[in-house]
Structure 1
Amino acid sequence: MYKTKIFKASFLFLNICVAVSSYAQQVRLPDPAYNLVLKAPVKTWDEALPLGNGLMGGLLWGEQNTIRLSLDRGDLWDERTHGEKEWWKKYTYQKGADLIAKKEFNTVNSWWDQAYNGVSPTKLPAGRIELKFPDGEVVREFELMEATAEGITRFNSGATINTFYSAKNPVAMLSIKGTAADSVMLFSPMDVYRKNAKGDGGPSSGGSVSKLGYPEAIKGKTATAEWYIQEAAEGLKYCVYLETKKSAKETLIAFTITSTVDGKDPLSLARERVAQALNKGYAGMLKPHAKWWAEFWKKSSVSIPDTAVQKQYNLVQYFYGAASRLKAPPMPLQGVWTADNGALPPWKGDYHNDLNTQMTYMAYQQSGRYEEGESYLNFLWDRRDFFKDFARDFYGTGGLACPGVMSYSGQPLGGWGQYSMSPTMSAWSAHLFYLHWLYTADDTFLREKAYPWSSGVGECMLGILKKDQNGLLKLPLSSSPEIFDNSPKAWLEPNSNYDLMSLKMLFLSLKEMAAQMGKTADEKKWADAAVALGDFHTKADGTLLLDAKYELTNSHRHLSNIIGIYPFNLINNESGKTDEKMIEASLQNWDKLGTNQWVGYTFSWMSCLRARVGDGEAAVKNLDIFVKAFVLRNGFHVNGDQTKSGYSGFTYRPFTLEGNFLASQAVHEMLMQSWSAKPGELNTGLIRIFPAMPKKWADASFTNLRAEGGSLVSGARKNNQTVSFSITAGRKGKLRIKDNFDGRVPKWNVKKVLKTGDVYEVNLEKGQKLKAVF
């Protein structure tokens, strides 16, 4: 009888485990209910339906009987330097520091800022395809089928256009059914410029394409095909080629963008690619494409009871697949969706390393989009020789450094010197290599890329830093990104908290990576460097200052002086009262200063930060504002408050992508966190299940989010209580889980789960699954 009761109880527990864990651990494809649907008309390119395959991108939009597809390719760049060629070799960092010490600020500004004032270097648009249908056809809506990355255009008549950018081949296809286009026209960027001059356009952007001085595109046409070849600068030519194939049931269009990067004859290559696609047909090309996307979505999923946030989350995950791929250019400011209004992209569509690139590539780790993230890491790795030259020529050091603002080739673009030429932007970029290693637990990547690249940055920083009279390492120049713009006041007293935090995180991460590889001498070197930087600058009440003298006294868009809280985690609420005091006082100060000078990404960054310190209500408040006021109807983040509701004094429109990815990461931070309260200490990470949940997210779940060490974590929550979770170990060793379960004790599926303080610990083999139910 006793054994029977035990058996029944065990059987019941097993069933509960299976039922609850299967609820949490079933990977979910994007629900069609959350697809992006745009009601026609869509009259501007930046509100269009975004499509892409990493290399190429497209924006689908239109009204009445006109459908447009704006074209882009990620590596189309004009790399011509404005002003003196390789100006950074002449106007070096040390020369700038010497003049700033003499208060000759304008001279230094003219050196480092003037390069950015030219038209180039710049990302280039690739033109537009425009389809005209009979007058009786009126477009009703556009829908992005996220599960298959397919765009559908629907007309009132029932006619449709299906569109996709192949995930497997550098081509895109359209299938038109139920109607036929009267004309299919291909416009070069200059054609678009001339159309816009007549009033057909959209929001203004980064200067006219006519200023590039290119010759007119060479155009060609046959009965079924149309193309143009554009001669750009410095030997670059690119070709946009489309061909039509008609049958009784559909009109099929295939197109591609080729360039001299692909081969000597872009036209022949384009013709060949398009012919192969047309021979396979729409269905034949769609099958491997859909399979690729099915695998993409299997990586992880989340489910939250907030339609607007869930929709934005799904869309942003889609952005990773559509705009960032291995062996393709990583996302600059606007990804593969460059302006289509006859103008060049805002801020040249460049790679901004004072926040934008780092935040764009900071949300892929937890969702397991590792290949998509490696696009940027490989980009940085492949340019390491140029970055070594830049460190030598501009900073006068060994090692390597990437410019704070750079082109596709990696050359510095200049701009406000306080961040565009700041060495610590490289330290923040190195943090991405560190995070990738932490989350993948890939020690080969650590040895071959993460440590070599990051230690190169470390060597450059050690070459710049000099000891002061107190033995502390100091930079010759210091700043805090975008604080005081480019005014003389923006040169802060070394080291600013931003520089201090960036450097300390770099050295601690290098210490940890060296320890993993058994490099004891390196480990000590980096540990000593981290200590030699000294403490953070605070007021007596703990408020983090800008530098040793100045306090942040006005609302500001960049959380630079509190970056040590997030994402670096140097200051956290699990490291004692001193850290807690800094967090509380600093956030009170930010609250007091208000949001008048915030932009969209500020809200999503603050959402991440509030979640990291366990404040779910503040996290969701900032996230809700972001989704409500700083997102266009197609999901693109825009810098200004589009509702003009007073969330920000900025109401301007240009879009950049980093705010989107920060919002996606904020969701991760609320659902699951994995970090060490002691950065730099090997194997001290801690997993936190539902650590910052707002009450209105009473029911939520996530599947296969990644934790440090490569572990897969799934969890389910009902009625504001965690009901189950599971962790599949990414490597052999000890798992540590924070007890934030409100006094409820988990039932484990394995033995020897021990508790020390508020932390559960268990040793697992790689691939072993730990399950818990309540």
Structure 2
Amino acid sequence: MVRVKHLLLIVVVGILFSCRSGEEVSDLPRPYHNLRFEKLPEVWDEALPLGNGLTGALIWQKEGKLRIAIDRADLWDLRPVEEFKSPDHSYQFICDQVLKKKDIAPIQRLIDDRTKYDAAPTKIPAGAIEFNIASLGKVKDVSLDLTSAVCTILWENGAKARIFVSANEKGGRFFFENLPDTLSPELITPLYEENDTELDYQPGVNKLTALGYKRGKVERINPGTLLYQQQGWGDVSYEIALKWKSPSGHSLEGEYCVTSKGTWYSEKEGALECMRQTMSSNFDSSLAMHKHWWREYWMKSSISLPDTLLEKQWYLEMYKFAAASRKGGPPICLQAVWTADNGQTPPWRGDFHSDLNTQLSYWAGYTSNHLEESSVFTDWLWRIKENAEAFTRQFYGVEGLNVPCIATLTGEPIGGWSPYSHSPSTAGWLSHHFYLQWKYSMDADFLKNRAYPWIKEVAQYFENISVRGENGERQLPLSTSPEINDNRIDAWFQKTTNYDLANIRLTYTVAREMAEALGLNEEAGYWVRQLSEWPKPAVNESGLMIAPGKAQTESHRHFSHLLSFHPFGLIDVSKGNGNIDLILRSIKNVEMLGTDWWTGYTYAWLANMKARVFEGDDVVRNLHIFIKAFCSPNSFHLNGDQLKAGYSQFTYRPFTLEGNFACAAAIQEMLLQSHTGVIKVFPALSTKWEDVSFRHLRAMGAFLVSASYEGGKIASITVESEKGGWMKLYNPFTDKITERKMVAGETITFTNKFPMGK
């Protein structure tokens, strides 16, 4: 535990790092970062994942056949929830039932219970390609090369297969060589009708037959071309085209394309025409373009750690980030482009959960210098804005902007546990990502035309929905804190929770900062006054509480009451002794309550918090638990303790991605922090680490930072200014904060020899 005395010293004179750097950082992933197995995975959630943000694939073996499970991010059953057409579907109805009638049964019938029985709205799978590989014999090696995003399978008889989802095209490719006999692919449709699979116990899953679809037919266009057309609900449909040829009797080359109709992301053309227009003529030319894209992606940033487990996991997470989030496509939902391939709908319908999941999924994008991929999230939030405004008027009865916490691809409410599916402050946490996208990019157009307009509407919503308490302060009529007290009546709080309050206070704080940056001083002053009308967070001897009168007294997976500390930084060790003591008490309390009801993402989130208080050894410990106990061999986060080693009472395995990207974010927090406005290099390294380095991690203010740590000491720091402006750096060579007005394109390097930079 970092001593309070040490943290006080950091506040007074800056952070005293014991860091160093070693070998030069290699930009590209190394061979030991790759996924590698001695045989093909035999479970879908252990498959090798491929993707380009819109199309995804899982490579595994099912019933003796090599299977490419195909997914597409915009394939959704978007049927409306009939219950939500009721006039009772309103915040006022909930307030009346909770506050006046003390009876939530009608709320649960309206919002909660139906999700136990209906199967939609939900994300849906696309289909699969299978190969009968019995004649190929025993598999020798299976690998996913991160540098090229290519899956390679080797057989003992010398046969070889390469598979990739093209980074530049609308589909995927496969190439088999050294085959002992001819091989042909089969196009497999999802089990929308006959479905004898045993239903897994996973939260919110149903057999695909529950959707009521008639299974589409696979049409043979010619001897080497198949076309599958599937009608979904309403106007949504999709096609998969598959083409292949055998240049010789010992090779097989093929390509596939999946297209949709009726979604925001649909093509005008069908799959065959899209394949003809957009895909290269052969495997090699397509592969060359694909490799180039991935090389450019990896050149954005890199790290080198003495802990090879953490280093490998970071590269795996950043691989999945690019495979799951791509400009022009939908953002990362619970499983992104890797929907369950088991004849069932995905866990929790594969939805957009914004009481934690969507937000954590984008934590890693900013510091890793992948702003194009992270912008996909705010692009989508902007796209659903009109639907969210309509929801705000219909459900809350006020103008402004809130977002359904559990939402479809188009931002429509799905329902579920009503205190969270209809949380009154979801848009506040989502506002943080508009703030992060702006602060890391310093994109003035984005600030003016998207970030501030979004946050301004959210701030107006909070003003409109609030009421005055007995002491004259603003409060919410009813408040919640994910996912405290499940969906019981006591999950609704009459006093504003620290979770809702953090979202509200964050919104007004960043609204003021943005207004000032735009020269809107009158509006900035208004947001300051609005902020002053809300209470401060509730605290007691154990730290931050859930709500006034409600302390955190039980193990819980969600640190919603600590949001003001992390990720928001409204409470931070840089702000002095009171903050330091409060933060340390709060962290100690959640640790003392135990991990019985944690999931994998809880460990990853705690690791981020430990980095914020510079406890690097604890960061490492929690991330090792996350990786070893809560991740599948392919690196997927499975929520439960797969080792059954006592890290959690949850031992189930629903796959979701947010824990993965929170893990990567925690590693980055060890290397670089800038949330206070001061760049801090190597703030939370393990005391056991000797040589560390990174290149082109991104700090707030649009600064690219590279640094090395050698023999237990910081050796060099290089700061590049992308947009110009004031740069503030905690300078370990002077033990002071160095401030420098930089111009766009300027680079400064700090070393022992040149402590003030050159």
Q: Smaller-chain TM-score range?
A: over 0.9
Partner of 1:7: none
What does 1:187-266 correspond to in 2, within 5 Å?
187-190=188-191, 194=195, 196=197, 206-221=205-220, 222-248=222-248, 250-261=251-262
| Cα distance in structure 2, aligned partners of 1:486 and 1:295 | 46
Partner of 2:133: 133
What does 1:696-711 correspond to in 2, within 5 Å?
696-711=688-703
In structure 1, give the amino acid aligned to 2:32.
Answer: A
Partner of 2:582: 582
In structure 1, give the amino acid aligned to 2:137.
Answer: E
- Of the structure 1 ranges 654-663 and 249-258, higher mean CA displacement relative to structure 2 is found in 249-258
Q: CA deviation at 1:735?
A: 1.5
- Of the structure 1 ranges 499-508 and 278-287, higher mean CA displacement relative to structure 2 is found in 278-287
Counterpart among 693, 717, 731 of residue 725 in structure 1: 717
Q: CA deviation at 1:549?
A: 0.1
| Cα distance in structure 1, aligned partners of 2:643 and 2:240 | 38
Name structure 1 gaps, 5 residues minimum. 1-19, 677-684, 747-754
Whether 2:738 is the aligned partner of 1:760: answer: yes
| Cα distance in structure 1, aligned partners of 2:639 and 2:38 | 23
| Cα distance in structure 2, aligned partners of 1:64 and 1:120 | 29
| Conserved? CA contact 1:132–1:181, under 8 Å | no
| Cα distance in structure 2, aligned partners of 1:195 and 1:315 | 35
Q: CA deviation at 1:27?
A: 5.5
Whether 2:484 is the aligned partner of 1:492: answer: no
In structure 1, give the amino acid aligned to 2:747.
Answer: K
Partner of 1:592: 592
| Cα distance in structure 2, aligned partners of 1:274 and 1:257 | 9
| Cα distance in structure 1, aligned partners of 2:478 and 2:531 | 18
What does 1:74-473 correspond to in 2, within 5 Å?
74-84=73-83, 86-87=85-86, 90-102=88-100, 103-117=102-116, 118-179=118-179, 180=181, 182-190=183-191, 194=195, 196=197, 206-221=205-220, 222-248=222-248, 250-261=251-262, 269-275=270-276, 280-473=281-474
Whether 2:569 is the aligned partner of 1:569: answer: yes
In structure 1, give the amino acid aligned to 2:528.
Answer: A
- Of the structure 1 ranges 427-436 and 392-401, higher mean CA displacement relative to structure 2 is found in 392-401
Secondary structure, in 3 states, of the residue corresponding to 1:364? helix
Deviation by residue 1:395-443 (Cα, 9 ceiling, x = unmatched): 1111222101000111101111111101211110111000000000111
Whether 2:72 is the aligned partner of 1:73: answer: yes
| Cα distance in structure 2, aligned partners of 1:483 and 1:85 | 24
| Conserved? CA contact 2:301–2:697, under 8 Å | yes
Say if 1:417 and 1:37 are closer, same or farther in 2 by CA, change over 3 A: same
| Cα distance in structure 2, aligned partners of 1:380 and 1:388 | 11
Secondary structure, in 3 states, of the residue corresponding to 1:72? strand
Partner of 1:17: none
Q: CA deviation at 1:194?
A: 3.5
Partner of 1:508: 509
Q: CA deviation at 1:736?
A: 1.2
In structure 1, give the amino acid aligned to 2:485.
Answer: F
Asked which structure has the greater RCO (Cα within 8 Å, sep 6+), the reply is 2
In structure 1, give the amino acid aligned to 2:166.
Answer: S
| Cα distance in structure 2, aligned partners of 1:195 and 1:120 | 20
Deviation by residue 1:345-373 (Cα, 9 ceiling, x = unmatched): 00000000000000001110011111111
| Conserved? CA contact 1:40–1:62, under 8 Å | no
Q: CA deviation at 1:83?
A: 3.4
| Cα distance in structure 1, aligned partners of 2:593 and 2:145 | 42
Deviation by residue 1:531-578 (Cα, 9 ceiling, x = unmatched): 211211111x36111111011111110011111111011111111121
Deviation by residue 1:448-504 (Cα, 9 ceiling, x = unmatched): 111111211111111111221212110011111011111112112321111111111
Q: CA deviation at 1:191?
A: 7.0
- Of the structure 1 ranges 596-605 and 312-321, higher mean CA displacement relative to structure 2 is found in 312-321
Percent identity reads 35
| Cα distance in structure 2, aligned partners of 1:347 and 1:262 | 21
Q: CA deviation at 1:181?
A: 5.1
Partner of 1:549: 549
Partner of 1:559: 559
| Cα distance in structure 2, aligned partners of 1:46 and 1:551 | 37
Say if 1:296 and 1:479 are closer, same or farther in 2 by CA, change over 3 A: same
| Conserved? CA contact 1:144–1:150, under 8 Å | yes
In structure 2, give the amino acid aligned to 1:178.
Answer: N
Deviation by residue 1:170-209 (Cα, 9 ceiling, x = unmatched): 0111011111554421111117964736x9x998971100
| Conserved? CA contact 1:21–1:726, under 8 Å | no
| Conserved? CA contact 2:136–2:159, under 8 Å | no
- Of the structure 1 ranges 548-557 and 94-103, higher mean CA displacement relative to structure 2 is found in 94-103
Say if 1:191 and 1:458 are closer, same or farther in 2 by CA, change over 3 A: closer
Say if 1:264 and 1:356 are closer, same or farther in 2 by CA, change over 3 A: closer
| Cα distance in structure 2, aligned partners of 1:689 and 1:262 | 44
| Conserved? CA contact 2:47–2:634, under 8 Å | yes
Q: CA deviation at 1:730?
A: 3.0
TM-score after normalising by structure 1: 0.91
Name structure 2 gaps, 5 residues minimum. 1-19, 753-758
Secondary structure, in 3 states, of the residue corresponding to 1:479? coil
| Conserved? CA contact 1:472–1:534, under 8 Å | yes
Partner of 2:11: none
| Conserved? CA contact 2:203–2:348, under 8 Å | no
| Cα distance in structure 2, aligned partners of 1:307 and 1:27 | 14
Q: CA deviation at 1:85?
A: 5.1
Say what the alpha-carbon RMSD is for the aligned residues.
2.2
Say if 1:576 and 1:599 are closer, same or farther in 2 by CA, change over 3 A: same
| Conserved? CA contact 1:727–1:770, under 8 Å | yes
Partner of 1:28: 27
Deviation by residue 1:504-533 (Cα, 9 ceiling, x = unmatched): 111101110111001112111111122211
Provide the aligned length of Structure 1 versus Structure 2: 728
Q: CA deviation at 1:133?
A: 2.5
Q: CA deviation at 1:119?
A: 0.4
Q: CA deviation at 1:653?
A: 0.5
| Conserved? CA contact 1:115–1:413, under 8 Å | no
In structure 1, give the amino acid aligned to 2:690.
Answer: A
TM-score after normalising by structure 2: 0.92
